Structure 1
Protein backbone atom coordinates (compact mmCIF):
# COMPACT_ATOMS: atom_id res chain seq x y z
CA UNK A 1 0.00 0.00 0.00
CA UNK A 2 1.57 3.25 -1.08
CA UNK A 3 0.65 6.49 0.62
CA UNK A 4 0.40 9.81 -1.12
CA UNK A 5 2.44 12.94 -0.47
CA UNK A 6 1.72 16.53 -1.42
CA UNK A 7 4.64 18.58 -2.73
CA UNK A 8 4.03 22.29 -2.17
CA UNK A 9 6.57 24.57 -3.88
CA UNK A 10 7.44 28.06 -2.62
CA UNK A 11 9.83 30.71 -3.92
CA UNK A 12 10.46 32.72 -0.73
CA UNK A 13 11.93 31.46 2.53
CA UNK A 14 9.79 33.80 4.65
CA UNK A 15 6.61 32.50 3.02
CA UNK A 16 7.90 28.95 3.50
CA UNK A 17 8.49 29.57 7.23
CA UNK A 18 4.98 30.94 7.65
CA UNK A 19 3.56 27.99 5.68
CA UNK A 20 5.42 25.51 7.88
CA UNK A 21 3.97 27.13 11.01
CA UNK A 22 0.46 27.11 9.53
CA UNK A 23 0.86 23.48 8.46
CA UNK A 24 1.87 22.44 11.95
CA UNK A 25 -1.05 24.37 13.44
CA UNK A 26 -3.39 22.56 11.03
CA UNK A 27 -1.97 19.23 12.35
CA UNK A 28 -0.61 18.07 8.99
CA UNK A 29 2.51 15.90 9.10
CA UNK A 30 5.50 17.46 7.30
CA UNK A 31 7.73 14.70 6.00
CA UNK A 32 10.57 16.89 4.73
CA UNK A 33 11.41 20.39 3.54
CA UNK A 34 13.92 20.82 0.70
CA UNK A 35 15.69 24.18 0.46
CA UNK A 36 18.50 25.53 -1.75
CA UNK A 37 20.22 27.06 1.30
CA UNK A 38 19.93 26.71 5.10
CA UNK A 39 16.88 28.54 6.46
CA UNK A 40 17.43 29.86 9.98
CA UNK A 41 14.80 28.60 12.43
CA UNK A 42 13.27 26.03 10.06
CA UNK A 43 14.16 23.13 12.35
CA UNK A 44 12.32 24.75 15.27
CA UNK A 45 9.35 25.66 13.07
CA UNK A 46 9.12 22.03 11.92
CA UNK A 47 9.28 20.81 15.52
CA UNK A 48 12.47 18.81 15.10
CA UNK A 49 14.39 17.76 18.18
CA UNK A 50 17.62 19.63 18.97
CA UNK A 51 20.70 18.07 17.44
CA UNK A 52 23.29 16.24 19.52
CA UNK A 53 26.09 17.18 17.17
CA UNK A 54 27.70 19.56 19.69
CA UNK A 55 28.11 16.66 22.13
CA UNK A 56 29.74 14.58 19.40
CA UNK A 57 32.06 17.48 18.55
CA UNK A 58 33.12 17.80 22.20
CA UNK A 59 33.80 14.07 22.41
CA UNK A 60 35.85 14.16 19.20
CA UNK A 61 37.82 17.09 20.59
CA UNK A 62 38.57 15.08 23.74
CA UNK A 63 39.81 12.21 21.57
CA UNK A 64 42.12 14.64 19.75
CA UNK A 65 43.40 16.10 23.03
CA UNK A 66 44.07 12.60 24.39
CA UNK A 67 45.93 11.57 21.25
CA UNK A 68 48.01 14.77 21.41
CA UNK A 69 48.97 14.29 25.06
CA UNK A 70 49.83 10.61 24.64
CA UNK A 71 51.72 11.22 21.41
CA UNK A 72 53.82 14.09 22.80
CA UNK A 73 54.53 12.25 26.04
CA UNK A 74 55.73 9.19 24.16
CA UNK A 75 57.71 11.01 21.46
CA UNK A 76 59.24 13.91 23.41
CA UNK A 77 59.65 12.41 26.89
CA UNK A 78 59.90 8.63 26.72
CA UNK A 79 61.13 7.61 23.28
CA UNK A 80 63.35 10.44 22.05
CA UNK A 81 64.00 13.09 24.73
CA UNK A 82 65.78 16.16 23.36
CA UNK A 83 67.19 19.26 24.98
CA UNK A 84 65.51 22.04 23.00
CA UNK A 85 66.22 25.56 24.20
CA UNK A 86 67.51 24.32 27.54
CA UNK A 87 64.17 22.83 28.60
CA UNK A 88 64.36 19.65 30.66
CA UNK A 89 63.11 16.59 28.85
CA UNK A 90 62.46 14.26 31.77
CA UNK A 91 58.97 15.44 32.74
CA UNK A 92 55.83 16.03 30.66
CA UNK A 93 54.36 18.49 33.18
CA UNK A 94 57.40 20.78 33.00
CA UNK A 95 57.23 20.80 29.19
CA UNK A 96 53.45 21.12 28.88
CA UNK A 97 53.38 24.91 28.20
CA UNK A 98 55.39 24.35 25.03
CA UNK A 99 53.00 21.53 24.00
CA UNK A 100 49.81 23.64 24.26
CA UNK A 101 49.78 24.68 20.56
CA UNK A 102 50.08 21.05 19.49
CA UNK A 103 47.28 20.01 21.88
CA UNK A 104 45.04 22.77 20.52
CA UNK A 105 45.75 21.93 16.88
CA UNK A 106 45.11 18.20 17.29
CA UNK A 107 41.92 18.89 19.27
CA UNK A 108 40.59 21.04 16.42
CA UNK A 109 41.87 18.62 13.76
CA UNK A 110 40.14 15.58 15.28
CA UNK A 111 36.91 17.45 16.03
CA UNK A 112 36.66 18.90 12.51
CA UNK A 113 37.52 15.77 10.57
CA UNK A 114 35.45 13.39 12.67
CA UNK A 115 32.51 15.82 12.51
CA UNK A 116 32.64 15.78 8.70
CA UNK A 117 32.75 11.98 8.69
CA UNK A 118 29.86 11.84 11.17
CA UNK A 119 27.82 14.28 9.09
CA UNK A 120 28.28 12.24 5.93
CA UNK A 121 27.45 8.96 7.68
CA UNK A 122 24.41 10.42 9.47
CA UNK A 123 23.13 12.02 6.25
CA UNK A 124 23.90 8.85 4.28
CA UNK A 125 25.92 10.85 1.76
CA UNK A 126 28.17 8.23 0.23
CA UNK A 127 30.46 8.79 -2.75
CA UNK A 128 28.62 8.55 -6.09
CA UNK A 129 25.21 8.64 -4.37
CA UNK A 130 22.32 9.84 -6.50
CA UNK A 131 20.51 12.99 -5.37
CA UNK A 132 17.25 12.40 -3.53
CA UNK A 133 15.60 15.78 -3.88
CA UNK A 134 12.19 15.39 -5.53
CA UNK A 135 12.46 18.54 -7.67
CA UNK A 136 15.69 19.82 -9.22
CA UNK A 137 14.55 23.42 -8.70
CA UNK A 138 15.16 22.99 -4.96
CA UNK A 139 18.89 23.23 -5.66
CA UNK A 140 18.50 26.64 -7.32
CA UNK A 141 15.78 28.94 -6.03
CA UNK A 142 12.66 26.99 -4.97
CA UNK A 143 11.58 25.49 -1.66
CA UNK A 144 9.59 22.27 -1.45
CA UNK A 145 7.55 21.04 1.49
CA UNK A 146 6.51 17.37 1.40
CA UNK A 147 3.37 16.70 3.44
CA UNK A 148 1.87 13.27 4.12
CA UNK A 149 -1.74 13.04 2.94
CA UNK A 150 -2.59 10.16 5.33
CA UNK A 151 -6.36 10.20 5.93
CA UNK A 152 -6.94 13.85 4.97
CA UNK A 153 -9.02 15.19 2.13
CA UNK A 154 -6.69 15.99 -0.79
CA UNK A 155 -8.84 18.82 -2.15
CA UNK A 156 -8.96 20.56 1.24
CA UNK A 157 -5.21 20.16 1.65
CA UNK A 158 -4.54 21.52 -1.84
CA UNK A 159 -6.66 24.60 -1.14
CA UNK A 160 -4.96 25.02 2.25
CA UNK A 161 -1.47 24.99 0.72
CA UNK A 162 -2.42 27.39 -2.06
CA UNK A 163 -3.71 29.70 0.70
CA UNK A 164 -0.33 29.47 2.47
CA UNK A 165 1.39 30.89 -0.61
CA UNK A 166 2.38 27.78 -2.54
CA UNK A 167 2.93 28.47 -6.24
CA UNK A 168 2.65 24.87 -7.35
CA UNK A 169 1.24 21.73 -5.78
CA UNK A 170 1.63 18.16 -6.96
CA UNK A 171 0.47 14.88 -5.49
CA UNK A 172 2.88 11.96 -5.77
CA UNK A 173 2.92 8.48 -4.33
CA UNK A 174 5.43 7.77 -1.59
CA UNK A 175 7.20 5.27 -3.85
CA UNK A 176 8.24 7.99 -6.32
CA UNK A 177 10.33 10.17 -4.01
Structure 2
Protein backbone atom coordinates (compact mmCIF):
# COMPACT_ATOMS: atom_id res chain seq x y z
CA UNK A 1 0.00 0.00 0.00
CA UNK A 2 1.42 3.33 -1.05
CA UNK A 3 1.67 6.09 1.51
CA UNK A 4 -0.57 9.12 1.07
CA UNK A 5 1.63 11.29 3.25
CA UNK A 6 3.29 14.38 1.85
CA UNK A 7 5.66 16.90 3.34
CA UNK A 8 4.79 20.57 3.07
CA UNK A 9 7.84 22.81 3.32
CA UNK A 10 7.15 26.55 3.59
CA UNK A 11 9.52 29.25 2.41
CA UNK A 12 9.17 33.02 2.66
CA UNK A 13 11.59 34.04 -0.14
CA UNK A 14 11.56 33.04 -3.80
CA UNK A 15 15.36 32.82 -4.08
CA UNK A 16 15.54 30.52 -1.06
CA UNK A 17 12.77 28.43 -2.65
CA UNK A 18 14.73 28.16 -5.92
CA UNK A 19 17.85 27.01 -4.06
CA UNK A 20 15.73 24.50 -2.12
CA UNK A 21 14.16 23.10 -5.29
CA UNK A 22 17.63 22.64 -6.81
CA UNK A 23 18.85 20.90 -3.63
CA UNK A 24 15.85 18.56 -3.54
CA UNK A 25 16.24 17.70 -7.23
CA UNK A 26 19.97 17.11 -6.69
CA UNK A 27 18.99 14.42 -4.16
CA UNK A 28 16.77 12.83 -6.86
CA UNK A 29 13.58 13.40 -4.89
CA UNK A 30 10.25 14.00 -6.62
CA UNK A 31 8.56 17.36 -6.05
CA UNK A 32 4.83 16.91 -6.45
CA UNK A 33 3.97 20.60 -6.66
CA UNK A 34 5.16 24.07 -5.69
CA UNK A 35 2.54 26.66 -4.72
CA UNK A 36 3.58 30.29 -5.13
CA UNK A 37 1.85 33.65 -4.57
CA UNK A 38 3.37 34.94 -7.82
CA UNK A 39 5.23 33.44 -10.81
CA UNK A 40 8.87 32.57 -10.05
CA UNK A 41 11.12 32.91 -13.08
CA UNK A 42 13.04 29.69 -13.81
CA UNK A 43 11.09 27.51 -11.35
CA UNK A 44 9.73 25.27 -14.12
CA UNK A 45 13.24 24.63 -15.41
CA UNK A 46 14.58 23.98 -11.89
CA UNK A 47 11.78 21.46 -11.27
CA UNK A 48 12.53 19.72 -14.57
CA UNK A 49 9.11 20.37 -16.09
CA UNK A 50 8.70 19.90 -19.83
CA UNK A 51 8.24 23.07 -21.88
CA UNK A 52 4.68 23.97 -22.77
CA UNK A 53 3.22 23.20 -26.18
CA UNK A 54 0.51 25.85 -25.93
CA UNK A 55 2.28 28.05 -28.49
CA UNK A 56 1.79 25.33 -31.10
CA UNK A 57 -1.93 25.24 -30.40
CA UNK A 58 -2.09 29.05 -30.56
CA UNK A 59 -0.54 28.92 -34.03
CA UNK A 60 -3.00 26.23 -35.16
CA UNK A 61 -5.94 28.21 -33.76
CA UNK A 62 -4.72 31.32 -35.60
CA UNK A 63 -4.47 29.37 -38.85
CA UNK A 64 -8.01 28.10 -38.25
CA UNK A 65 -9.23 31.68 -37.77
CA UNK A 66 -7.46 32.80 -40.94
CA UNK A 67 -9.00 29.94 -42.92
CA UNK A 68 -12.43 30.78 -41.53
CA UNK A 69 -11.97 34.46 -42.46
CA UNK A 70 -10.99 33.55 -46.02
CA UNK A 71 -13.95 31.20 -46.38
CA UNK A 72 -16.35 33.74 -44.79
CA UNK A 73 -15.29 36.71 -46.93
CA UNK A 74 -15.35 34.61 -50.10
CA UNK A 75 -18.79 33.21 -49.32
CA UNK A 76 -20.37 36.49 -48.20
CA UNK A 77 -18.83 38.97 -50.64
CA UNK A 78 -18.16 36.86 -53.75
CA UNK A 79 -20.51 33.87 -53.87
CA UNK A 80 -23.65 34.66 -51.87
CA UNK A 81 -24.22 38.40 -52.34
CA UNK A 82 -21.72 39.90 -54.82
CA UNK A 83 -21.75 43.69 -54.84
CA UNK A 84 -19.85 46.30 -56.79
CA UNK A 85 -18.29 48.37 -54.00
CA UNK A 86 -16.00 51.17 -55.14
CA UNK A 87 -15.62 49.65 -58.59
CA UNK A 88 -13.95 46.48 -57.26
CA UNK A 89 -14.73 43.33 -59.23
CA UNK A 90 -17.21 41.10 -57.45
CA UNK A 91 -16.21 37.88 -59.22
CA UNK A 92 -12.74 37.38 -57.71
CA UNK A 93 -11.71 36.99 -54.06
CA UNK A 94 -8.04 37.65 -54.94
CA UNK A 95 -8.82 41.01 -56.52
CA UNK A 96 -10.69 42.03 -53.35
CA UNK A 97 -8.26 40.46 -50.87
CA UNK A 98 -6.58 43.73 -49.75
CA UNK A 99 -9.98 44.95 -48.51
CA UNK A 100 -10.36 41.71 -46.51
CA UNK A 101 -6.99 41.91 -44.70
CA UNK A 102 -8.44 43.60 -41.57
CA UNK A 103 -11.12 40.91 -41.33
CA UNK A 104 -8.54 38.15 -41.76
CA UNK A 105 -6.28 39.70 -39.11
CA UNK A 106 -9.08 40.19 -36.59
CA UNK A 107 -10.48 36.67 -36.97
CA UNK A 108 -6.98 35.18 -36.71
CA UNK A 109 -6.45 36.98 -33.39
CA UNK A 110 -10.03 36.27 -32.23
CA UNK A 111 -9.78 32.51 -32.82
CA UNK A 112 -6.28 32.24 -31.32
CA UNK A 113 -7.16 34.24 -28.20
CA UNK A 114 -10.52 32.69 -27.39
CA UNK A 115 -9.57 29.11 -28.17
CA UNK A 116 -6.31 29.50 -26.19
CA UNK A 117 -8.27 30.57 -23.11
CA UNK A 118 -10.53 27.54 -23.45
CA UNK A 119 -7.53 25.25 -24.02
CA UNK A 120 -5.71 26.69 -21.01
CA UNK A 121 -8.68 26.13 -18.72
CA UNK A 122 -9.23 22.60 -20.00
CA UNK A 123 -5.53 21.72 -19.73
CA UNK A 124 -5.35 23.18 -16.23
CA UNK A 125 -8.60 21.45 -15.26
CA UNK A 126 -10.11 24.76 -14.16
CA UNK A 127 -13.85 24.32 -14.43
CA UNK A 128 -16.57 26.73 -13.31
CA UNK A 129 -17.30 26.32 -9.58
CA UNK A 130 -14.24 24.13 -9.04
CA UNK A 131 -13.00 23.92 -5.46
CA UNK A 132 -9.56 25.39 -4.86
CA UNK A 133 -6.74 22.84 -4.51
CA UNK A 134 -4.48 25.18 -2.58
CA UNK A 135 -3.30 23.33 0.55
CA UNK A 136 -2.61 26.49 2.58
CA UNK A 137 -4.04 29.99 2.16
CA UNK A 138 -0.68 31.58 3.02
CA UNK A 139 0.58 30.62 -0.45
CA UNK A 140 -1.76 33.22 -1.94
CA UNK A 141 -0.19 35.95 0.18
CA UNK A 142 3.47 35.70 1.10
CA UNK A 143 4.62 32.07 1.46
CA UNK A 144 5.84 29.42 -0.95
CA UNK A 145 5.00 25.75 -0.39
CA UNK A 146 6.89 22.77 -1.74
CA UNK A 147 5.00 19.46 -1.63
CA UNK A 148 7.06 16.26 -1.60
CA UNK A 149 5.59 12.74 -1.33
CA UNK A 150 6.90 10.52 1.47
CA UNK A 151 8.15 7.03 0.58
CA UNK A 152 9.69 5.64 3.81
CA UNK A 153 12.23 8.49 3.78
CA UNK A 154 10.47 11.05 5.96
CA UNK A 155 13.40 11.85 8.27
CA UNK A 156 15.84 12.26 5.36
CA UNK A 157 13.51 14.67 3.55
CA UNK A 158 12.81 16.71 6.69
CA UNK A 159 16.54 17.06 7.41
CA UNK A 160 17.21 18.11 3.83
CA UNK A 161 14.38 20.67 3.81
CA UNK A 162 15.47 22.09 7.18
CA UNK A 163 18.96 22.63 5.77
CA UNK A 164 17.53 24.53 2.76
CA UNK A 165 15.96 27.27 4.87
CA UNK A 166 12.36 26.11 5.21
CA UNK A 167 10.54 28.25 7.78
CA UNK A 168 8.00 25.49 8.49
CA UNK A 169 7.86 21.76 7.68
CA UNK A 170 4.67 19.71 8.12
CA UNK A 171 3.88 16.08 7.37
CA UNK A 172 0.25 15.80 6.28
CA UNK A 173 -2.05 13.11 4.90
CA UNK A 174 -3.05 13.93 1.35
CA UNK A 175 -6.69 13.16 0.72
- State how far apart, in whole Å, the 1-side matches of 2:142 and 2:85 are: 58
Alignment RMSD, CA only? 1.0
Partner of 1:33: helix, strand, or coil?
strand
Aligned to 1:103: 104
Which consecutive unaligned segments of at least 5 residues does structure 2 have?
Answer: none
Aligned to 2:78: 77
TM-aligned CA deviation for residue 34 of structure 1: 0.6
Q: Is the counterpart of residue 38 in structure 1 residue 55 in structure 2?
A: no
- State how far apart, in whole Å, the 2-side matches of 1:33 and 1:125 are: 17
- State how far apart, in whole Å, the 2-side matches of 1:149 and 1:121 are: 29
Cα deviation, 1:121-157, whole Å, max 9, x if unaligned, reads 11111111110010011111111000111131x2221
Aligned to 2:162: 162
Partner of 1:30: helix, strand, or coil?
coil
TM-aligned CA deviation for residue 110 of structure 1: 0.3
Aligned to 1:90: 91
Which consecutive unaligned segments of at least 5 residues does structure 1 have?
Answer: none
4+ residue segments displaced more than 4 Å: none
Aligned to 1:122: 123
Paired residues, number = 174
- State how far apart, in whole Å, the 1-side matches of 2:113 and 2:75 are: 24
